[in-house]
Amino acid sequence: MSDIIIHTEKLSKTYNIFNNPWERLWHSFYQSHRDNKNEITALKDINLKIKKGELIGIIGLNGSGKTTLLEILTGTLKPSSGKMVVNGRVSALLELGSGFNPEYSGKDNVILNGLLLGLKKEEILQRFPEIEDFAEIGAAINNPVKTYSSGMVLRLAFAVQVLCKPEILIVDEALSVGDFFFQQKCFKYIRKLADNGVTLLFVSHDMSTVRDISQRVLLMKNGEITYDGEPVKALQHFLNKSSEKNPIKIKENNLNFNSKINLLPNSIWKFEKDKKSFSKARILEVGIYNKYNEATTNFKIGDTLTLLINYEVFCDIPVHVGFSIKNKYNQLINTSNSYSLLISPPKKSQGGRFQFASDITLNIEAGKYSILIKLGSEGKNINEGDNLFETTWIGPIDVNWNYNSDISPFYGMFGLPVKGRFNIDNTQK
């Protein structure tokens, strides 16, 4: 018996776009009529063979066709052409709360969704205590779903889908809504399902999650699969390709600096701009390195990130260098610069190329972060100045930690420099 559980051949999906409703109506009666009609191809000739028990990550920029592919595999969307065979019961988390009636209680929605998945009511009621325990929403399970937070909806939806014994589990970014520890619980259970032969397909923009969970990754672009294979290589392809639309490029370091500048072999981001566009200064390249002088964007909590910034100055005023760090929720984590660190920039700056180096101890919680680099000059008042040049937000920088096997040095957004001690009262008898 074949172990292929999903098989597609030249699977395609095309949407017809009309200039007005009358053209749409005319086309519904005469489908060969093509005047004033545009076509958008969401999927093009997708050929896939997925084995039972495989963990498949799907990545790509927005609009690359990821969700369309999952919707076709779940049966909620019909392909325009091609063949598809899905052998097994499919559970899907595509849109948060889809399939839930907001007026029904959580318990009633569990029963309703179980019936839709093909289970008998007796089976659902038998598994209900396990679903209730996994969701961890307490007495709220008897309240209408419309009173739930998005996190509570996710908890209940995930519990229903995974505990109804699926053979194929499809997840589209839904887990990003949950809190960190529930995400950990979900992924732990997903691994358990995989060990029992359940096939997983999931879309995520969290590259560290894709790398850690997947056995195989599909990279999609413009409705096509451009890479299918090993996770780390897929992420490298994605990061290289996605940066082409931005003014940052991954290139070898080929700049001619003077011998006093300690350059490492590879710079991660290189900025190619016309010198005439900037009157006072510009950033040439940015490198991010670990303690082994390796160019990387992957770190553990507590690691030291070395930031190297190579820049060029066209004026004779002191030019300071700084950076800002944001998390994936767009919250500003930290801003530092040579001015606030009381570091004086080179005095003879005009026409020179320089490097600013900063060692950053990553006492921040596990997650994804981005960095923005700036050049600036001092202002008339303290803590004021002029912005001379800034990059786009570059990254992502992944800060990781295995909370299941290692004791975390702290919990929360930051790790403060904390010390502790026990005192004994020696006066007691």
pLDDT at 248 over 50: no
- Tell me, what's the pLDDT at 218? 94
pLDDT band at 241 (very low <50, low <70, confident <90, very high): low
pLDDT band at 103 (very low <50, low <70, confident <90, very high): very high
Predicted confidence (pLDDT) per residue in 325-337, tens digit: 988 766 788 999 9
Mean pLDDT of 246-258: 34
The domain spans of the chain are 4-242, 248-400
CATH of 4-242, one of 3.30.1490.20, 3.40.50.300, 3.90.1150.200, 3.40.190.10: 3.40.50.300
- Tell me, what's the pLDDT at 375? 92
pLDDT at 374 over 70: yes
- Tell me, what's the pLDDT at 172? 81
Q: Answer whether 171's CB lies under 8 Å from 210's CB.
A: no
Higher pLDDT, residue 41 or 26: 41
Model pTM score: 0.55
- Tell me, what's the pLDDT at 165? 76
pLDDT band at 362 (very low <50, low <70, confident <90, very high): very high
CATH 1.25.40.90 fits 248-400, yes or no: no
pLDDT at 216 over 90: yes
State the chain's mean pLDDT as an integer. Answer: 80
pLDDT band at 26 (very low <50, low <70, confident <90, very high): low
- Tell me, what's the pLDDT at 186? 79
- Tell me, what's the pLDDT at 147? 93
pLDDT band at 429 (very low <50, low <70, confident <90, very high): low
- Tell me, what's the pLDDT at 35? 54
Mean pLDDT of 61-89: 89
pLDDT at 396 over 50: yes
Equal CATH topology for 4-242 and 248-400: no
pLDDT at 414 over 60: yes
pLDDT band at 246 (very low <50, low <70, confident <90, very high): very low
Share of residues in the chain with pLDDT > 90 (%): 24
- Greatest mean pLDDT among 201-210, 297-306, 312-321: 297-306
- Tell me, what's the pLDDT at 266? 52
Question: φ, ψ for residue 291 (rounded to 5)?
Answer: -70, -15
